[in-house]
Structure 1
């Protein structure tokens, strides 16, 4: 894991731009606290911050290879889980290695196969190769978009980085957000390639972006494809189990302490139990960590989203799998702390407005980092196996929009209630969402003979795997890397994603419950309580002191009437929420306060130029 950045400028020698390259590189210090390195060669400059995971002394970057026709230099972020097999293949082809790192395998793989090395990698990665033989930059992102990657075309080349902050540190990049960027920010549609910042783009998942003197080209090397699924139930369950065991075994490889994130739900419990079995074979115990809130288990109030608190189930799994477990208990003061809110906004480069769920994830990861450098997460199983409530909601199934928006509106109301009405009218967010949905479903392929229900569920699955999951993966990456913790996501292994995506819905829900295939494939390692537990989302604090703190912070913001946030936020609406007699209790009202506070901090920290016309 690491942070990468760079600059290609065909009209200048970047050897004279070391100060700018250093500034870009240092924005990635949190992603790579263990080492830093830069490299320049003619029109190219590369920067790297390292979080050392594999081959601690030998994996320094930028990593270069001299060839008779020029230098090839690599900056790489992520993990390649099949690097051992690739190393054998490359050794057989005549390559000689000087380190034990997966980074050198990727570099040598590029020398052997060019940008087709991407098709051979199993892992999470974002990397850039400067190929001095052809004066060409090649940027590659993993299939599911686990690792972030951004680029910014310039008149004579390109800027790039793991996060927008690296790109924005270069004076060529304008800190500008247009109306279209605000539309992306205020909806939850995750348009592929969209970076919110004007002029900036994401390297899309499963894509190679090539830059040379003739311009910028993209090549898609992987996409989610519709294929027949010939396997019966027993074979499918056995295949899922076999894949999971192989994936977990591969993703436990590290030369630093590792652990699992345990919520007591099916996904993290299954992953933790499989990891515990694998490590037990080696005579080791797995460490597990869970987030909890002060007093929540004792005072928990069930609602439509969360029927049960997590902690009892967490402890059942910890006992069953014999993990070395620790609860990370957070209080309302820490969750509402403006300094933590600022760290979250800086980590995400945008005001996402996820409030206590972002803050708690950041604080959880910060605590874990005192003990481990690598964590395995159950993230993305709901998208892969069909675990969200909207998969079983007839209105969401049939709606001509993103299914999660149907559920979200029902439980949280309108997130833009705190925004200025004239702004929301001008942005016309419903039309933006409708256009995004039409584009998102246009390319979903239907199997010959597939029933209307099966095709409807295929489209839902496709939307979750190509849109919804990317928001959660980005959140996970930013919160973890902000504290130098690598979080791996076994359920995003592309082999598992391809296989389960093409399993018919009647197989995915054969017992009428969510994630039937995953539950059955891991039944033997789960406590009965977890096997029977109904899906519960990531936890959110119920402590009224948190809402009171939000109101106090909103009052402080209202005392600054000239703050630019009021170009976006309606003062009267914010005032009503801040001065409500009773603590704000509804999730919708809380989210409105959180959104306003995040926006204000973002404007203070980034000072973007907002172009709303």
Structure 2
């Protein structure tokens, strides 16, 4: 076993990607700065200073803790993590996390069925040292390999380094809720949750002109491209291996649609049950939860499903001033949000965007990283 240096200090005190947004009080604080957990790593080079810089460039994604682990050997490698603690916020959930002094994981996401998966593993004789989903995810990989991805219900991007076989495994959730970028420059393969963590590794980043054409066509840059020629995205529903033979990417999931003939009453019942089950399944957290509430059908249905658990739901509504609404082609929905809140007795929070919102544009663009033509990014931020 090669020697290893742990740079992990003590830990301090993101579904349906478009529709559902639940968050804790600490999560909302992190979103003020941009985010979720952040992961990164390198293979072929393992500079503690470089990994520190990559990790800390994503501090806005994880204010609750940081960790960097460096692996000596051939090839050298390293993993970094910025943590936003949602499940088991104790030091037991700190990352990078190891099992058997061989497999190491850095993970961004949330598994909604991790308790069921943990119970199955325990029935098979596995034992755990924490209450977090990270440990369950790593143990699933150790025991089942890539086929474990079929069992996961959640949102995730993660990397596992096998320090015995000297190879890296990467995976991204089915719909790509969690980002995962990678590059291969001068014999160093690197990955991260954000582009900015990889840019310092590239001497002269250059524009991918075909990605620019895609952006002008679709208003965003589809995978696997990014705005930079040297950086790519791991597509949703895919995993990858990186070792001495290079990078191999494989698809493990795709959407299959088979039309069914049912009555309107059947569809109404099935959709209601599916929405309720999906929302309540995603309310797995060791910290308080809340939801955006626009007053539209989607967010109102989500809040109604959350309210069925018996807990009072905190809701957050973003509105526009009367003067700004004069320039909008859609009507003001805030009064609908207020009515839904009154009906469901939520803990209602309302914010009206002010003219100084323009001051947020540089920061919003900084967090978007890639060009995305979606004005909702401002109100969401």
When normalised by structure 1's length, the TM-score is: 0.54
Bigger strand share:
2
CA contact (8 A) 1:8 1:159 kept: yes
Q: Give the direction of change, closer, same or farther, for the CA distance of 1:232–1:173 in structure 2 (3 Å limit).
A: farther
Find the residue that maps to 2:82 and give its secondary structure.
strand
Gaps of 5+ in 1: 363-613
CA contact (8 A) 1:3 1:31 kept: yes
Q: Report the equivalent of 2:244.
A: 213
Q: Report the equivalent of 1:262.
A: 293
Find the residue that maps to 2:79 and give its secondary structure.
strand
Shift in Å at residue 114 of structure 1?
0.6
Shift in Å at residue 302 of structure 1?
8.1
Q: Report the equivalent of 2:42.
A: 7
Q: Report the equivalent of 2:347.
A: 324
Can you list the C-alpha shifts for 1:116-138, whole angstroms capped at 9, x where unaligned? 11111000100011112321111
Can you list the C-alpha shifts for 1:196-254, whole angstroms capped at 9, x where unaligned? 11121101000001111111111111001133525443333222222222211121121
Distance in 2 (CA, whole Å) between partners of 1:80 and 1:74 is 15
CA contact (8 A) 1:167 1:173 kept: no
The equivalences for 1:345-364 within 5 A come to 345-352=365-372, 354=374, 357-362=376-381
Distance in 1 (CA, whole Å) between partners of 2:363 and 2:272 is 39
Q: Give the direction of change, closer, same or farther, for the CA distance of 1:173–1:120 in structure 2 (3 Å limit).
A: farther
Can you list the C-alpha shifts for 1:479-521, whole angstroms capped at 9, x where unaligned? xxxxxxxxxxxxxxxxxxxxxxxxxxxxxxxxxxxxxxxxxxx
CA contact (8 A) 2:159 2:170 kept: yes
The equivalences for 1:49-198 within 5 A come to 49-57=82-90, 58-66=92-100, 71-170=102-201, 172=202, 174-188=204-218, 190-198=221-229
Distance in 2 (CA, whole Å) between partners of 1:35 and 1:152 is 25
Distance in 1 (CA, whole Å) between partners of 2:200 and 2:51 is 9
Q: Report the equivalent of 1:22.
A: 52
Distance in 2 (CA, whole Å) between partners of 1:326 and 1:353 is 27
Q: Report the equivalent of 1:290.
A: 317
The equivalences for 1:541-580 within 5 A come to none
CA contact (8 A) 1:55 1:100 kept: yes
Shift in Å at residue 142 of structure 1?
0.3
CA contact (8 A) 1:207 1:218 kept: yes
| Bigger Rg, which one | 1
Bigger helix share:
1
Distance in 1 (CA, whole Å) between partners of 2:57 and 2:138 is 24
Find the residue that maps to 2:39 and give its secondary structure.
strand
CA contact (8 A) 2:279 2:306 kept: yes
Q: Give the direction of change, closer, same or farther, for the CA distance of 1:147–1:343 in structure 2 (3 Å limit).
A: same
Shift in Å at residue 155 of structure 1?
4.1
Shift in Å at residue 156 of structure 1?
2.7
Can you list the C-alpha shifts for 1:533-554, whole angstroms capped at 9, x where unaligned? xxxxxxxxxxxxxxxxxxxxxx
